[in-house]
Amino acid sequence: MLKHNTLAILISVALASTPALATSQVADSVAPEVASGTSSKTSVSAKDYMVAAANPLAAKAGYEVLKAGGSAADALVAVQVMLGLVEPQSSGLGGGAFLVYYDAKTKQVTTFDGRETAPLAATPALFQNADGSTMKFYDAVVGGRSVGTPGTVKLLESVHKRYGKQSWESLLKPAISQAQQGFIVSPRLAGSIAADAERLSRYPDTKAYFFNEDGSPLSAGQRLKNQKYADTLTTLAGNGADAFYNGKIAQDIVSRVRSAADNPGVLSTRDFAAYQVKERPATCAPYHQYDVCGMGPPSSGALTVGQILGISSHFDLKSLGKDNPQSWQVIGDASRLAFADRGRYMADSDYVPMPQGLLDPSYLAERAKLITLGTALSKEQVTAGEPAWGSTQKVALADDESIELPSTSHFVIADKEGNIVSMTTTIENGFGSRLMSNGFLLNNELTDFSFASHKNGYPIANRLEPGKRPRSSMSPSIVMKDDAPYMAIGSPGGSRIIGYVANTLIAHFDWDMTIQDAINLPHLVNRFGTYDLEKGTSAEQFKTPLETMGYKVNVRDLNSGIHAILLKDNKLTGAADPRREGEVYGD
């Protein structure tokens, strides 16, 4: 067994700055999960199979499945249910996920949408006050109002039924056993609890789980058991996802949501019974000799990553190099232009018509002409473009600034048969709604919708509607080369996910960096005009040059969690982000 060489245990647990209340729903600048320091990691090589995930216990669970002859689909079940136990602040049974899957038999990439849905009783006014103004952001997040119908459990079962080899029950056993025995609280989890102590203390079940009897938050190194989670998984092991969506578990979740003190929601058992996982065609964008394939709407990930790469391809980033501020000007303004399109056009395409030309090379070439080396685009220059609508009926839409917070988890898996998994999974904010049911946290995914339904008389594409799936930035990706898988990659991080993934691909493809070095590269991310530079890294050297070009610059923690597997030269090379606690295992 090969695993990451972690030369230094987490150096520090630096608490991220989290304002108590956001005054309105604007671009997501908060970091609700803590920065857990960095560890020195090197890539791992293997011949047959590999898994990279955000927690060693989760990665090991997937590895053991692969070692026993299981498929990538089998391993993803084991990884996810373990993550829900040991990294509960980021994902779990109470959330949703997007999966990009390469099927070695058909040689095709497809995607599975396990995104949460808005309750059928929800209205566009869910996050609006009586006078029509929008709620303060964290007033909306904490409690039942923000909880959407979870999709993760049905996604796991759907994919396992289609591609799995081992028994469903066997894949849940390791997490059941771990929940009963307890697991060691990691520095990241402990820091996250401490940083969010007030909100986690509002609900009795949540407080009882994450705090000691004396009221102090759990510390790193403590053993934490979760018998309720073990009981839930035991029920699912024997009865499948139906026990989650059509039984006592759903009833209990609905009860918790509707009775949440101060902020009840409208979720119902009807929403659970109606929930469906949707298989959707992959959205692919060309970049050099590669095709970057990912999740289309309701995710904005693949479209926005594809736009950034497509616009950037009109500049010689290879010659400019990673140390040239002009490279970051190109990438930053390409991102701003892509985010302008994202804000106006991208949403759940089952509900909102979308232009078909967002990735058209001629459209992206025109967008690239807006960029002049040496001078940042002005705020007035960064507006949504006019892509072709094709056969879709054009509609007038308003721009949207809805928040998507940087929590979430990403893992990648490759099995011996050549099947590939790239999955991003979430409960949205760190610790989601802060409500617990049956041993797991419930999502706050509905706050990914725009709180306002209209702006300047025009509808907002990402407005809340009954049954609709909120827009996401999750960007699980599989890169293809010559019709074969070349890389699986993704990251957590709210809407910065898009920049994390795009920058890593550029670093690898244009600057010839190894996949580990590309992941390690300090972050520079620009979405809405302000250039975020990763604190305490060499990215800070670009502060003055970027300010000279006209950017507002903010130096801050940027807590990605990129995991990737490279398929090259008849071997697998896996890499985990040094900013989190992830590991890679393979043989």
Binding site listing for L-glutamate: 115, 448, 472-473, 494
Neighbours of 135 (CB within 10 A): 19
Measured in degrees and rounded to the nearest 5, phi and psi for residue 563 equal -130, 140
C-alpha to C-alpha distance for 331 and 335, rounded to whole angstroms: 6
Token look-up 């028994």 returns 167
Binding site listing: 115, 448, 472-473, 494
| 3-state SS track over 466-492 | CCCCCCECCCCEEEEECCEEEEEEECC
C-alpha to C-alpha distance for 384 and 398, rounded to whole angstroms: 10
C-alpha to C-alpha distance for 97 and 437, rounded to whole angstroms: 19
| Amino acid (1-letter code) at residue 225 | K
What the block records as the tokens of 361 is 């090379």
CB 32 within 8 A of CB 196: yes
| Amino acid (1-letter code) at residue 524 | L
C-alpha to C-alpha distance for 559 and 581, rounded to whole angstroms: 11
What the block records as the tokens of 501 is 């993934």
For residue 454, list its beta bridge partners: 459
What the block records as the tokens of 245 is 């969506």
C-alpha to C-alpha distance for 488 and 412, rounded to whole angstroms: 6
Decide if 408 is catalytic: yes
CB 47 within 8 A of CB 571: yes
Q: In what order do the strands lie in the sheet with 524-526?
A: 524-526, 530-534, 552-556
For residue 80, list its beta bridge partners: none
What the block records as the tokens of 524 is 């520079």
C-alpha to C-alpha distance for 132 and 451, rounded to whole angstroms: 10
| Amino acid (1-letter code) at residue 253 | I
| Amino acid (1-letter code) at residue 251 | Q
Active-site residue identified among 152, 206, 283, 408: 408
| Residue ranges with strand state E in 407-528 | 409-414, 420-426, 436-437, 440-441, 454-455, 458-459, 477-481, 484-490, 524-526
| Amino acid (1-letter code) at residue 175 | A
| Amino acid (1-letter code) at residue 155 | L
C-alpha to C-alpha distance for 208 and 198, rounded to whole angstroms: 13
The contacts of residue 528 (CB under 8 Å, 6+ apart) are 27, 336, 339, 401
CB 195 within 8 A of CB 16: yes
* Angle (nearest 5°) at CA 211 between 424 and 204: 85
| Amino acid (1-letter code) at residue 19 | P
Known catalytic residues? 408
